[in-house]
Amino acid sequence: MEWEVVIGLEIHAQLACKSKIFSGSSTNFGIEQNTQASLIDLGYPGVLPVLNREAVVMAIKFGLAVNAQIAERSIFARKNYFYPDLPKGYQISQYELPIVFNGSLEIQDQNGSQKRIGITRAHLEEDAGKSIHDKFKQETAIDLNRAGTPLLEIVSEPEMSSPKEAIAYMQKIHQIVKYLKICDGNMQEGSFRCDANVSLRLKGTKKLGTRTEIKNLNSFKFVEKAIAYEVVRQKELLDEGKEIIQETRLYDSDLNETRTMRTKEEENDYRYFPDPDLLPLEIDPSMIEQIRSQLPELFEAKVLRYVNDYGIKENDAIEIANTIELACYFEEVASVFNGNNQLVASWLLTELLSVLNKEGVSIDEFSVSPKSFAKLLQRITDGTISGKIAKDVFASMVHEKKEVDFIIQSKGLEQISDMSEIEAIIVEVLQAFPNQLQEYLEGKEKILSFFVGQVMQRTKGRANPTLVNEILKEKIKK
Amino acid sequence: MLRSRDISSHEILDMYMQRISDHDTSLNCYITLNKDAALKKSIQADRLIESGDPLPLTGIPYAGKDIFCTQGVKTTCGSKMLENFIPPYDATVISNLNNQGAILMGKTNMDEFAMGSSNETSYFGPVHNPWDLARSPGGSSGGSAVAVAAGLAPIALGTDTGGSIRQPAAFTGITGLKPSYGRCSRYGMIAFASSLDQAGILALTAEDTAILLESLAGFDPLDSTSVETTVPKYSQSLNASIEGKVVGIPKEFFDEGLDAESEQLFFEAIKVYESLGVQFKDISLPHLSLSVPTYYVVAPAECSSNLARYDGIRYGYRHDETDDLDDFYLTNRQIGFGAEVKRRIITGTYVLSTGYYDAYYLKAQKVRQLISKDFKQAFQDIDAVMGPTTQTPAFKIGEKIDDPVTMYMNDIYTISANLAGLPAISHPCGFVQNLPFGLQIIAPHFAEAELLNLTHLFQQETDWHQKQPPDLNKV
């Protein structure tokens, strides 16, 4: 039997608000436990939530970026369940009327063609605290710093049909929230995480199969692996004629497998009802328009601009614009660089990325400023150094934290473009290798690069390669 | 008297503290006294009065229902769960009064988490009615009502979710005001049913109530449901003429549950209003009979969620030895909560459950809308609604506690104002078998001034509000 995979994702994006969604406490990460929880976050008797408007604006930005509808009236609801890191015994979320609904975005499917994925809804909610099970023997510690942190839960339609598509969708959402600066996208810290709903159905049928939900996946790799594992597991069961049990599963990245966390019967009855402490959230259409007018340039527009205004290759434009930090760096370099921007793009995507990889730093933490980087490329275009030497200079910039011109001067790396100087060296080389010269004259033209190499060796790579080639050919002819 | 310095704040406080020590053993209206702090404040107050620059409430002592969080002063909510809970902050209404110079004397007894109509569900024992110690003062603000009625406080704060200020005011012969929903901040007031709870005042007169309300009320950025409207000078409109006012008397208030003597008393009181030029009109509020069942779906639903935070983890009762997490929750809540609280949590959990939500919670919300609409319609032709506050005067302690449904019916006349969010007042209008009886007035949203104006003029013509319980030395 041939099965079709159906995947839907619920992504939790932690909103980059300065304070929590219903209290004034800060949302900093990595602060000493329980120092960032106010009486409201602690669920003290008598306290009340007050909605953080910044979170609302961020949710609207997201909605507009995915062409969704923004609800003029949405409702906060209480999701009731007991857990030690849930101080009030309920989570304030949105249930029946979310702030954002009916959106979509486009991804590339396996065949490289565009595929539209629907976004059912995105709603605002508060995060719970953290239970720490491994710090004390036999006891669980609770850190409520995270309690009340604003989240946007983004729910897709079940429209992805492979782990690759799921990743493409998730990366797209990741890109959007980062472009909008509404989430730092840090998956290690849990600022961007995802639950995956996976089911299989007979190819060609419409009715969805029984699904399982894999909770709390916090890397693209895990999402892909967990879904892939789950697809195989379900396929095996179905092929044996067995039924899938609707349940929540956990992904174990060490063993690369998913395990039952709780079955449907063990699920809480959350007893959702409108939170009487919060009025319905009413959003004026003029506010939506104002936010729309202030939306930053998004990915597609950026790629187009890079191709049209900067004149770089489309593939390079896409690759640069994929990561907003890289795009910002690129634009800063290009703004001070005087020359062909394709050089900037190429250097960024090869030399700079490989250094970042090697050093294991993100571009935000990179020690070479866009200005210095532009200066380096400027020295190539103005003929001061060759592209090859520039790579060495770049390495020195990274390691010695010195400026371009200082490195070139102190190491004597300026390109030799003095004709007579190059001529003298060429004569020297031709005299030193008469046999090779003979071979060349007998038609073995490849030998030319040997002579170029010898000249470069003698000049420590500083000779202007174009001039070397020209003069070499001339001299040999004579 | 304070301003003219006939008596000092310090002396007033001493007098009340003396009366408390003389009578509270038999009345049981205070859970915690704030004696030392209050004494210090009264001395400061006297200095301020002497300096000639006092605030509106400087030196005036008040009692607060033990549902309001008071910084550094134990706040139990009448429950074992919070027996030792000391809040690190003041409720907004408490700081509103304190900021105007008022002095918190102590925290008053109440039904556990404000769930009850007799003060018998308090973990700290029942409060006794000063008019007959065998009788209940009503609830849940029974401690505040008795403190004022028996002269153990000049004025007190209460809360009213279904009648918890008005019914005890009626049973103890004092004036009790439940303001409009949103008039006073709920921040720091321990939640029972958030969409119904409202802080209010128990006092001897409408005049005292008006003065205190001016400081108590107002928008609070910490409470999203508080309303941003200006607070009128209630004390300045007390003597406005009420001639030509039209008051509706809903026929639904006069059912078989109302005893004949009480009914007669009510209609005699009406005559006083008629003599002041008020016109009366028979009206109908057709959905009123549904208010009790509606309330007993909405209030438990909200309470089941509001009380989920009492798990013994961060504060409150925690049992020492439990087996696992489930047992921890179960034991803490089993021991920490009393029977009535548990009954309502279970009811509320049930009505919100999958499969029952539509039939109960959603339906109750719809009925609630209908009740609101009834009032809205009625207020197109009338200025206020009047009726008896309760069906009977105070009942005996132990008489109804084992029959929750009969107990719930106690609030049949008061609940509709909470469901519709309307302001309502109860003032004494006579005696039935030597027990005080109350008249209730309900007004449109934010028309507290109307209620106080009507009550004040009534109190100028009558002396029911000046009657004092027997066997207590006069104030």
Is B237 catalytic? The answer is no
Given CB atoms, is A46 within the 8 Å cutoff of chain B?
A: yes
State whether the Cα torsion B409-B410-B414-B419 is positive or negative: negative
pLDDT in tens, A182-224: 999 999 999 999 999 999 999 989 999 999 999 989 999 999 9
B69:A88 CB<8 A? no
Of B158, B273, B146, the closest CA to residue B209 belongs to: B158
Partners of A88 on chain B (C-beta within 8 Å) are 308-309
Helix/strand/coil for B60: coil
Q: Model's pTM, two decimal places?
A: 0.91
Given CB atoms, is B313 within the 8 Å cutoff of chain A?
A: yes
Q: At what angle do helices A299-309 and A314-321 cross, to 10 degrees?
A: 140
Eight-state DSSP code of residue B396: B
Active-site hit among B164, B291, B304, B426: B164
At B34, list the tokens: 């704030």
Partners of B222 on chain A (C-beta within 8 Å) are 48, 50
pLDDT in tens, B360-404: 999 999 999 999 999 999 999 999 999 999 999 999 999 988 888
A45:B222 CB<8 A? no
Name the pLDDT band for B278 (thresholds 50, 70, 90): very high
Partners of B194 on chain A (C-beta within 8 Å) are 276-277
> Residue B95, exposed/middle/buried by CB under 10 A (0-12, 13-18, 19+)?
middle
At B79, list the tokens: 């429950």
Given CB atoms, is A276 within the 8 Å cutoff of chain B?
A: yes
Q: Which fold does the domain B9-248+266-284+380-466 belong to in CATH?
A: Amidase signature (AS) enzymes (3.90.1300)
The total of other beta-carbon atoms located within 10 Å of residue B334's CB is 12
Partners of B85 on chain A (C-beta within 8 Å) are 45
A142:B308 CB<8 A? no
pLDDT at B64 over 60: yes
Q: Smallest CA–CA separation between A71 and chain B, in Å? A: 20
Place of tokens 């159905």: A201
Q: Smallest CA–CA separation between A321 and chain B, in Å? A: 42
Partners of B357 on chain A (C-beta within 8 Å) are 271, 273
Rg (CA), chain B: 21
Q: Smallest CA–CA separation between A45 and chain B, in Å? A: 5
Q: Smallest CA–CA separation between A57 and chain B, in Å? A: 18
Partners of A82 on chain B (C-beta within 8 Å) are 308, 311, 329
Greatest Cα pair distance, chain B, in angstroms, is 70
- Bridging pattern class, strands A76-80 and A90-94: antiparallel
pLDDT at B1 over 70: no
- Which amino acid type is present at position B183? R
pLDDT in tens, B435-465: 999 999 999 999 999 999 999 999 999 999 9
At A430, list the tokens: 């031709």
Q: What are the helix (H) ranges across B173-249?
A: 206-216
Yes or no: say if A377 and A330 are a contact pair by the CB < 8 Å rule.
no
Active-site hit among B9, B41, B42, B65: B65
- Which amino acid type is present at position A295? L
Measured between CB atoms, which of B91, B193, B311 is closest to A82? Answer: B311
At A471, list the tokens: 């003069």
pLDDT in tens, B205-220: 999 999 999 999 999 9
Residue of A nearest to B88 (CA): A39
What's residue A60's pLDDT?
Answer: 98
Name the pLDDT band for B474 (thresholds 50, 70, 90): low
pLDDT in tens, A340-389: 999 999 999 999 999 999 989 889 889 899 999 999 999 999 888 888 88
Residue of A nearest to B185 (CA): A48
pLDDT in tens, A261-286: 888 777 889 999 999 999 999 999 99
What's residue B2's pLDDT?
Answer: 60
Measured between CB atoms, which of B89, B221, B305 is closest to A90? Answer: B305
Q: What is the dihedral of CA B226, B227, B230, B233, to 10 degrees?
A: -60
pLDDT in tens, A97-111: 999 999 999 998 878
E strand or H helix that includes residue A453: helix A447-458
Is B140 catalytic? The answer is yes
Of chain A, the end-to-end C-alpha distance in Å amounts to 77
Please give the mean pLDDT across all residues of chain B: 95
pLDDT in tens, B401-419: 888 888 888 889 999 999 9
Active-site hit among B140, B185, B215, B304: B140
A88:B87 CB<8 A? no
Q: Please compute the mean of the pLDDT values over residues B130-148 and round it to a whole number.
A: 97
Is B195 catalytic? The answer is no
Name the pLDDT band for B130 (thresholds 50, 70, 90): very high
pLDDT in tens, B6-62: 899 999 999 999 999 999 999 999 999 999 999 999 999 999 999 988 999 999 999
Which residue segments constitute the domains of chain A, with CATH numbers given?
3-288 (no CATH), 297-410 (no CATH), 419-477 (1.10.10.410)
Name the pLDDT band for B5 (thresholds 50, 70, 90): low
pLDDT at B116 over 70: yes
What's residue B19's pLDDT?
Answer: 96
**Quick one: what percent of chain A has pLDDT higher than 90?**
71
Rg (CA), chain A: 30
Given CB atoms, is A273 within the 8 Å cutoff of chain B?
A: yes
Place of tokens 């992805």: A160
pLDDT in tens, B335-366: 999 999 999 999 999 999 999 999 999 999 99
Name the pLDDT band for B142 (thresholds 50, 70, 90): very high
Yes or no: say if A152 and A62 are a contact pair by the CB < 8 Å rule.
yes
Domain boundaries of chain B, sorted by first residue: 9-248+266-284+380-466, 288-375
Mean pLDDT by 10 residues, chain A (478 residues): 94 96 90 92 98 98 98 97 96 97 93 94 97 86 95 98 96 97 94 96 92 93 95 95 93 91 85 97 97 96 96 96 94 94 95 92 90 93 85 89 85 76 84 84 83 84 81 79
In terms of phi and psi (left: phi > 0; alpha: psi -120 to 50; beta: otherwise), the region of A67 is left
Yes or no: say if A65 and A171 are a contact pair by the CB < 8 Å rule.
no
* Residues counted in chain A: 478
CA A320 – CA A346 distance, rounded (Å): 10
- Which amino acid type is present at position A43? G
Partners of B363 on chain A (C-beta within 8 Å) are none
What's residue A414's pLDDT?
Answer: 78
What's residue B475's pLDDT?
Answer: 54
